[in-house]
Each structure stands twice: as C-alpha cells, then as structure tokens.
Chain A
Amino acid sequence: MSAAATLVPDFVDPRENATVRIRDVVRRFDSRTALDGISLDIPAGQFVALIGKSGSGKSTLLRAIADLDDDVEGGGRIDAPDNRSVLFQDSRLLPWQSVIENILLGVRDAGARARAEAVLADVGLAGRADAWPNQLSGGEQQRVALARSLVRRPDLLLADEPFGALDALTRLKMQQLLFRLVGVQRPTIVLVTHDVDEALILADRVLVMDEGRIVLDRPVGIAHPRRASDPAFATLRTTLLGALGVTETI
C-alpha cells in the first residue's frame, strides 16, 4: 500500500528498454481502416489508459504493440520491450494445467517456482497453487492471470479490458490489486478499457481513440489515492466523456 501512496505523478524512469515508440502505424481489416497512422511515445514506467468506443481501434493498437497481429495488413514501426506480458479480457488459463503451472508457463529461470508462489500469495490465492482453473471463480481466475503476467517481471504490461467481464465489486478489488502490484514492479503499462472511471483511477495518462486515431491525450495529474468526488477528477471525467461523445444528462 505504501508504494501506491508515494507515487509521484511526474516520476522519471531511467530504463531505456521499457519505453514504447510508435510511428505511423496503420492497420486495415479488408477495406476498413482500424488504425489510421498512429504515432505515440510512452516513457518507461508510465501507466497509460486507452479508451474509446467499440471499433475505435484501441484493441487493435494493443494487439499491434503485443505483436499479435502478423496476419493483419498494415504498416508503420513499433519499438516495444521484448520482455512484455499480456493480460486478456478472458483469463486464458490452460484448463489442463494447475494454477501454479499456468503461472509458470514459459518461465524457465531458477527460483521461478518460489517467485510464482510469492506472486500467488500477493494476489490472495496462496493456498490454491494446485487447484484446476475450473475450480476457481471468474475473479480468482483473473487474479491468476494477473499473477502469470507479473511473475515474469515485465518491462511492459499490456492489458486488454482485463476486468471487463467481472462484476462491479470484483472489478473494484481487481483495480486496487493491479495498482498495488504494479506499484512495486513499475512496468510500463497500456490498459485498454471502456470504463472512464477505471482509466481515471489508475492511469498517469489517458488517450482517447476514435476511428483509428488518437483524438485526446491527457495527463491525469491527480495524486493517489484518487476519489471520484475530487473536482479535478470530475472535470477530467466530463472532458473524457465529451471526447467519447457522451453527455451526462441523467
């Protein structure tokens, strides 16, 4: 908790290999342009939230950074750390591997097992190392997925609506958990979400996408812990909703 509270908004991270550089990236599906010439720099250790309507291209951009789109037509240049983890909307645990085996997928260094157990305890599932994923609830499965992402100490964490399928209460707890854990490791983070509040509570910087372009790029200069009742929070929220084409009339 202390790591989260002491977070400085204008934190400068010296790790060169944890930066993301995107230049003129274009992606096309058939005739539809999903990314229309995106250029973006993300400094090391920055927490970026990417919001936008469905079909705005935010997931496409995330998949491009993750290098998961080699079957998609397009161009441009992306420099991103090789040591990266992806957190999907579904937990994507292999059902035939135990929880601990899932966390350790592809991790080969010595001491990985002990580290995995520590991360599992961090996400509050210390006793469930040998359980099957099917025996866990949706929220617990997503916590295992988070543990799988963090055990490899990524320089870059890419998260594609990781809490989108969870109920509201579990989502709040997961947001706090994610914030606490990345506060310790401080990877560079790109979080795709459709939830403006989630973006404002977690991120250092919010990007709004529309029709394959970044239409708004705002730093969130509010100290943690953030509260929705903070006037700065509310103002930024209205601005972001406006950029998304939503006016609050209720």
Chain B
Amino acid sequence: MTLHAKPSDIAPVSVVTAPLPARRVIARRSIRSRRLTPRTLGPAGLLIGPAVLVLVWEFASQVGWLSPRLLAAPSTAAVTGFEMLLDGDLTAHFLASAQRAYAGLGLGLVIGVVLALLAGLTRSGEASIDGAVQIKRAIPTLALIPLAILWLGIGDAMKVALITTAVLVPIYINTHAALRSIDLRYVELARTVGLTRLEFVRKVALPGALPGFFTGLRLAVTACWTSLVVLEQINTTEGIGYLMNRARDYGQTDIIVVGLAIYAILGLASDFAVRALERRALAYRKVLGS
C-alpha cells in the first residue's frame, strides 16, 4: 500500500478545523440572487405581456387615438366575435379552416417522418431524398401556388397539398438532423445486445430522434396555419381567411380582428398542446425550461 499518501502530504489539522471567516455566512444571500437560470414561469405568467398590450390598445381606442376604420377596439371585436359565435357563422368558418389545416398537417407529418427515417437510416434514401427536400426547402411554398392551381385546380385539394408541402419540410429537417446525431455509442450497444433492425428503429432511432421531431412539429403547427391564411384568399366561400377578406371589402375591422384573434388563439393552443405532448414523451430528460 505504498502508493498511498505519506502522513506529511496531508494538510495540518489546524487548517481544516480553523473557524470560517464570518463573511461566509453573508455570502449565502448573494449566491441566491446570482442564479444563472431564470425561475420557471407558470403558463399564466406568459399571458402578462399580451394582457398589457390589449389593455393599452383598448385605452387608445376609447380615448379616440385609434379610429375604428383603421382598427376596431378589442371590446368591439369581442362583442362581434361573440355574436358571430351565437349565430353559428364563426363555427362553420372555423371548422372549414381547421379541416384544411389539420388535414395538411397530418399528411405532412406522416410523409416528413417517413422520409426522414428513409434518408437517415438507408444510404439510398439519403442519396435520393435529402437533396430533394433541401431544394424544396429553398422554394417558398407560396411560389408553388401557380403550379399547384394548374395541377390540382383551385379547390381544397390544392390547398391541402400546399399545406402538406409546407409542413413536411420542418418535420423532415429536424427529425433527420436528430436521427443523424444519435450517439454512435448507442448504435454500438444495439449491436452488442443483438437488436434486430426493426428493434433498433423502435428502441434507439425513433426515441433518439423524438426531440428533433418535436422541434419540427412546433414549427409545422405554426406553418400550417400561416400557409392557410394565404391559401384561403383563393376561391373560398368558407374559412377564416375568406371571412377576413370579405370584411376588408366592407371595411369591418372588428371582423378582421376576430379573425386575427382566432389565428392567435389557435397558434398558441397548438403550441401549448405540442409542448404538453413533448413533456410527456420526453419525461426521461431533465432539461432547462421543463
């Protein structure tokens, strides 16, 4: 046991047991206030900013700084929205919009994940898919409208198809990137415990790519509604976009505000839902912000 330290290497006892300087006690407070990460904020806390904004806007309208011709007061819009809800008008338009958006989202999600798996796990997939999606990524979805109209007409098929292509890109990019960055040590482990290819996909590749997938999903949820706004200006008689376009023709700013509010609520609600899903699915992680 001669590798152990000699007694002379050990610090004299008096240093260890000497009383600590008094200022050490005070130091506790400054350590507390010097937190490097912010305390977590509840969902209600996130609403403080928007609430202040609405209050300022209402005040400006009431005092007369904002003309109703340019922008209706939030209270006016709320009353209009409530009336539209009562006569069933809003619900019909909302459902028409939601149907288009979520049909596109669902399709884009499935196609995006399948393409990411093919490109991430096979050589031929990487060769044939990745470049094509990267090129699609460089082309704005809205630039595809003329071609899409020629191919699919001006009906819902064209709208859903374009939303699908808009959604597919963020899902693919993020899932694929996460797949490619899976720790090689896990791949090695999968070999030593003799996982089959299917088991590898199910137990290593998919769960490993899940954080990236959720990043893509949050972007995709926003992208599907953003594309919808523009697409609903083309030959529609139903939908939130149609409602807002018609209101513009008649100068009804309150209805435009109702439409904007619906988009905002949908965007927030979708993001909230995806985050809740993400928290459940990624419960094994201990990360900042969760």
Chain A interface residues (CB < 8 Å from chain B): 66, 68, 84-86, 88, 90, 92, 94-97, 101, 105-107, 132-134, 148, 152, 228, 248, 250
Taken together as a complex, chains A and B put the C-alpha atoms of A92 and B204 apart, in Å, by: 12
A96 touches B195 (CB 8 A): no
Report A-chain residues with C-beta under 8 Å of the C-beta of B207. 94, 96-97
B284 touches A96 (CB 8 A): yes
Report A-chain residues with C-beta under 8 Å of the C-beta of B1. 228
Contact of A94 among B2, B191, B204, B283 (CB under 8 A): B204
B186 touches A94 (CB 8 A): yes
The SS class assigned to the A binding surface is loop
Taken together as a complex, chains A and B put the C-alpha atoms of A228 and B4 apart, in Å, by: 13
A134 touches B186 (CB 8 A): no
Chain B interface residues (CB < 8 Å from chain A): 1-3, 6, 185-186, 188-195, 199, 203-204, 207-208, 210, 282-286
B188 touches A68 (CB 8 A): yes
User: Top 4 A-B pairs ranked by shortest CB distance?
Assistant: A106-B193, A96-B207, A132-B284, A86-B192
Taken together as a complex, chains A and B put the C-alpha atoms of A248 and B262 apart, in Å, by: 78
B193 touches A134 (CB 8 A): no
Please give me the residue from chain A that is nearest to B199 by CB atom.
A106
Q: List 26 contacting pairs A-B, 8 Å CB cutoff, sorted by A.
A: A85-B192, A88-B185, A88-B189, A92-B185, A92-B188, A92-B189, A94-B186, A94-B189, A94-B203, A95-B284, A95-B285, A96-B284, A101-B203, A105-B189, A105-B190, A105-B193, A105-B195, A105-B203, A106-B195, A132-B283, A132-B284, A134-B285, A134-B286, A248-B2, A250-B2, A250-B6
Report A-chain residues with C-beta under 8 Å of the C-beta of B210. 96
Contact of B192 among A66, A97, A132 (CB under 8 A): A66
Taken together as a complex, chains A and B put the C-alpha atoms of A94 and B204 apart, in Å, by: 8
Report A-chain residues with C-beta under 8 Å of the C-beta of B185. 88, 90, 92
B284 touches A68 (CB 8 A): no
Report A-chain residues with C-beta under 8 Å of the C-beta of B3. 248, 250
Please give me the residue from chain A that is nearest to B5 by CB atom.
A250
